């Protein structure tokens, strides 16, 4: 650094300062030196390890982020692979009808495939009954009436003449709370029009007899015509007073039963339909409320409907066929204590009652009895909609299965892309992105990549030779006989949908076993030979056996019994003893125990099924799913790397501790440096004072000598 050669020492102080560790001091220069710059340069040089550590953390965090992305892709693949192991994936069915105007069909999962010829000779009909037309005893219109208010005769008055200012004056009057303004230019007709347009909910007309009539726009008793303040004299002049109001009536179905039929016609009590009781209170119940009660019932088995045109209540059975609608006392234990059924004319014996009929149908020549024009046959449902003959074909839903396989391949390729793109990405010194090259050549990801590639060519020797690997159902790493380097490097799978469809059509069970088998059958396992002493032998997969093993000695079958019940011979009723062949099986150890000791010439064989869901005999996607689970599950292989207690997280935590420690030590060193420079500043100030004193002294001596 350069030092100033001027004879005087410069000292300046400033309140602005900065450093890598924060502003903690005054910016100063001493003897021409920039102290802050000197300290900052020193601290910056010694802060380089912190920067390097922070860069390491950025890379570690980038690895965590990239691993998380890969884990998500693997989990998606795991679900797609697992979806191909379920039996339900292969039990989907489709149904098509040659004549949908006769039969529509829906096939449920697991329904029996095949062709069904369905002849519908007659459709089932529903049972129904209807009441008499309901009419009020007061003669009111069954559809309801509107409230009206009729004024007095205006004979002799010119309805188009302007008001004279004497009988009717300018001002306003109120109807139903709405103000109607009257001006000196109004006529009776224009005032009537204003009333109609006022929003009061009434319509005003002038009859041929000269009377003004106000009519509610809505039907029913709730509609009112209320007259209010009148400063015009119009209401009085036209005779519109409350005394001439005729109240509106509700539609017959909305009026109480007492109001419709008169008090006493219907009593407070009950009526029953198909053994279900309904309460009636004529003072509050209406036809409408009774209909709602019936429809709300889950046990009456009927639907009720009020026809506002015919004003009848109709009842229909919810199920087509010879279902009955038993009303009131027509059924055992029934009632009509309310007299409601009798009053409305809703009786079984009426001419309006119609009995339902059962459908006449054959399926493949066999007569069947539908329920509500619906047949459930061998797991399939056929809906009858018309008469005639239709052929329904139920087949495996191959399209759905192909879609599931394609979904798997899409997920597989995406997972491979996420892995390969990172393990082949080299670092770039010109890039500021910490994730570039962060996982280049990562051994864990390379291992996952290779394991996934292995499944594309894996051979299941436990399967039939025609269905031992994915390529036999159209899932390959590329076209056979074609060398495609880019395809190989990508690790992608391809689907030959035609080949997959053919495999599913010819042998769906074999495809299902290739994909999702979890059970392996063992035939004639050589368990061992007798040695004259041992009775207990171990089966190879004994602890995973499903069901009971079949044991044979020299081809003779042994009977499985409980260990406590095993014996060497059986005694007949006449006392004769004969040898028996028995064995017991302990599923916890996988061992069998024979009831007798065998000689060296005796050979033991076993047949059994065992659970291979975690072994090499399991379906390819079962094995792949297990592998992927080991990667993606909580606490699994990837979590051991990126989880809270994983290696990367531990590395970040360790680096952060070191960064904190280094920052503390540098802050201490920074303070020490400023203390040293402050002391230097004090010393220089002292020297400067001494220099000034000597200069003054020399000047004084020179002056006195002259």
Rounded CA-CA distance 292/251 in Å is: 16
Give yes or no for residue 488 having a pLDDT over 80. no
Confidence check: pLDDT of 15 > 70: no
Residue 618 has pLDDT above 50, yes or no: yes
Does 165 or 71 have the greater pLDDT score?
Answer: 71
The DSSP letter of residue 576 is -
Q: What pLDDT is recorded for position 455?
A: 87
What is the C-alpha separation between 273 and 356, in angstroms, rounded?
A: 16
Which among 271, 40, 27, 287 is positioned nearest to 142, based on CA atoms? 287
Between residues 703 and 72, the one the model is more confident about: 72
Cβ atoms within 10 Å of 433's Cβ, excluding its own? 10
Binning pLDDT at 50, 70 and 90, where does residue 154 land?
low
| pLDDT at residue 14 tops 70 | no
- Residues 6 or more apart from 7 whose CB is under 8 A from it? none
Mean per-residue pLDDT over the chain, rounded: 86
696 Cβ contact list (under 8 Å, min separation 6): none
Share of the chain above pLDDT 70, in %: 92
Using CA of residue 401, residue 407, residue 410, residue 415, what is the dihedral sign? negative
The three-state (H, E, C) secondary structure of 126-171, written as one string: CCEEECCCCCCCCCCCCCCCCCEEECCCCCCCCCCCCCCCCCCCCE
Highest mean pLDDT among 506-510, 584-588, 702-706: 584-588
Q: Is the pLDDT of residue 336 over 60?
A: yes
| Alpha helices by DSSP H, 440-571 | 443-456, 485-490, 497-506, 508-516
Between residues 56 and 19, which one has the greater pLDDT? Answer: 56
pTM (2 decimals)?
0.60
Listed residue (253, 257, 304, 252) closest to 280, CA to CA: 257
**Continuous segment of H or E residues that includes residue 396:** strand 388-396
Closest by Cα among 435, 441, 493 to 69: 435
Both tokens of 102, joined, read: 């006769």
d(CA 668, CA 25): 13
| Strand partners for 11 | 30
pLDDT at site 16:
37
Q: What integer pLDDT is reported at residue 26 of this predicted model?
A: 45
The closest of 455, 445, 409, 449 to 621, measured between CA atoms, is 455
Lowest mean pLDDT among 411-420, 465-474, 491-500, 686-695: 686-695
What are the structural domains of the chain?
93-124+358-396 (no CATH), 127-134+252-344 (3.30.70), 148-242 (3.30.70), 520-611 (no CATH)
Cβ within 8 Å of residue 617, ≥6 positions away: 460, 462, 517, 520
Both tokens of residue 283? Answer: 């003072």
């Amino acid at each position: 650094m350069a030092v100033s050669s001027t004879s005087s020492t410069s000292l300046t102080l400033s309140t602005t300062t900065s450093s890598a560790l924060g502003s903690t001091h005054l910016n100063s220069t001493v003897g021409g030196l920039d102290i802050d710059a000197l300290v900052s340069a020193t601290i910056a040089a010694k802060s380089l390890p912190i920067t390097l550590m922070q860069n390491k953390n950025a890379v570690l965090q980038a690895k965590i982020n990239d691993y998380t992305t890969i884990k998500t892709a693997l989990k998606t693949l795991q679900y797609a692979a697992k979806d191909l192991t379920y039996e339900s994936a292969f039990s989907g069915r489709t149904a098509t009808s040659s004549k949908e105007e006769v039969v529509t069909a829906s096939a449920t999962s697991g329904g029996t495939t095949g062709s069904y010829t369905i002849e519908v000779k007659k459709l089932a009909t529903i049972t129904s009954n209807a009441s008499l037309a309901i009419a009020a005893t007061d003669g009111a219109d069954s559809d309801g009436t509107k409230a009206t208010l009729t004024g007095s005769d205006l004979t002799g008055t010119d309805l188009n003449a302007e008001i004279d200012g004497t009988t009717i004056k300018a001002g306003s009057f109120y109807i139903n709370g709405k103000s109607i303004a009257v001006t000196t230019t109004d006529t009776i007709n224009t005032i009537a029009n204003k009333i109609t347009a006022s929003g009061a909910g009434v319509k005003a007309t002038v009859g041929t007899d000269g009377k003004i009539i106000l009519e509610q726009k809505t039907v029913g008793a709730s509609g009112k015509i209320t007259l209010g303040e009148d400063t015009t004299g119009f209401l009085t002049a036209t005779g519109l007073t409350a005394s001439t109001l005729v109240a509106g009536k509700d539609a017959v179905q909305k009026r109480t039963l007492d109001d419709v039929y008169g008090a006493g016609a219907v009593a407070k009590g009950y009526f029953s339909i198909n053994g279900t009781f309904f309460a009636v209170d004529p003072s509050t119940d209406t036809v409408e409320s009774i209909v709602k009660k019936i429809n709300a019932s889950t046990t009456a088995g009927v639907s009720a409907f009020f026809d506002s045109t015919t004003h009848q209540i109709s009842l229909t059975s919810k199920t087509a066929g010879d279902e009955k609608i038993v009303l009131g006392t027509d059924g055992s234990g029934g009632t009509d204590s309310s007299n409601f059924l009798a009053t409305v004319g809703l009786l079984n014996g009426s001419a309006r009652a119609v009995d339902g009929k059962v459908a006449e149908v054959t399926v493949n020549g066999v007569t069947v009895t539908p329920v509500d024009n619906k047949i459930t046959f061998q797991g399939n449902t056929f809906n009858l909609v018309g008469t005639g003959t239709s052929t329904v074909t139920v087949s495996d839903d191959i399209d759905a299965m192909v879609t599931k396989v394609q979904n798997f391949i899409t997920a597989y390729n995406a997972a491979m892309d996420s892995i390969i793109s990172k393990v082949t990405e080299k670092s770039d010194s010109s890039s500021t992105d910490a994730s570039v090259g962060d996982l280049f050549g990562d051994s864990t990801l390379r291992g996952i990549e290779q394991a996934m590639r292995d499944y594309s060519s894996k051979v299941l020797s436990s399967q039939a030779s025609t269905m031992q690997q994915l390529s036999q159902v159209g899932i390959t790493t590329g076209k056979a006989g074609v060398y495609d380097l880019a395809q190989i490097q990508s690790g992608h799978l391809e689907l030959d949908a035609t080949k997959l469809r053919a495999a599913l059509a010819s042998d769906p069970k074999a495809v299902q076993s290739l994909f999702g088998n979890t059970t392996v059958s063992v035939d004639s396992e050589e368990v061992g030979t007798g040695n004259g002493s041992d009775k207990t032998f171990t089966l190879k997969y004994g602890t995973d056996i499903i069901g009971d093993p079949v044991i044979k000695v020299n081809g003779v079958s042994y009977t499985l019994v409980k260990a406590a019940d095993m014996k060497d011979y059986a005694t007949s009723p006449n006392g004769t003893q004969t040898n028996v062949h028995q064995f017991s099986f302990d599923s916890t150890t996988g061992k069998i125990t024979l009831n007798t000791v065998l000689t060296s010439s005796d050979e033991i064989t076993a047949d059994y099924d065992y659970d291979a869901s975690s072994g090499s005999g399991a379906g390819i996607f079962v094995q792949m799913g297990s592998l992927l689970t080991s990667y993606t599950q909580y606490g699994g292989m990837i979590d051991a790397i990126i989880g809270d207690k994983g290696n990367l997280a531990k590395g970040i935590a360790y680096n952060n501790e070191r960064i904190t420690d280094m920052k503390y030590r540098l802050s201490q060193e920074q303070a020490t440096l400023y203390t040293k420079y402050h002391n230097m500043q004090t010393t220089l100030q002292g020297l400067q004072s001494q220099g000034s004193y000597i200069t003054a002294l020399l000047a004084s001596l020179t002056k006195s000598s002259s």
